Amino acid sequence: MILEYSSGLVDVEQTVYSYFSILGLVHPELEIWRKVALEREMDFRSETRQWNSLPGVPVRNDDKVGRNDPCPCGSGEKYKKCCGPNPLG
C-alpha cells in the first residue's frame, strides 16, 4: 500500500489499521498505519474545532414585514391586503 494514496472518502490506513488491530493480527506496516490514522484524526479534529468556533446565533432579518404591518409600498393598506403573499386572493 502506498502512503501517498488517499481516497478522500475513506482513509485506507485507518481502515486497515482498525481491521488488523481488532483481529489482533500482526503486520510489518501496522505502526505506520497507526501513525497515519492518528495524524488524520488530529487533522479532522482541528478542522471540526474551526467549524465549531463559528457563532451559534441564528441570523435574523429585521426588515421582515408582518402581515398586519403597513405595506412598504406606501399604499397605506395592510401588507396582507396589498403586496402580501397572495394579493389577489
Is the pLDDT reported for residue 89 higher than 60?
no
Kindly compute the dihedral angle of the four CA atoms of residues 21, 25, 28, 31, in this order, to the nearest 10 degrees: 10
Provide the percentage of residues in the chain whose pLDDT is more than 70: 72
Which amino acid is it at 35? K
> Cα separations (Å) of 35 from 5, 17, 39, 50, 85?
15, 10, 6, 23, 58
Quote the cell numbers at residue 59: 441570523
pLDDT at residue 64, as a whole number:
81
Quote the cell numbers at residue 88: 389577489
pLDDT in tens, 24-62: 888 888 888 888 888 888 887 877 666 666 666 777 777
Would you give the end-to-end CA distance of the chain in angstroms?
A: 67
Is the pLDDT reported for residue 83 higher than 80?
yes
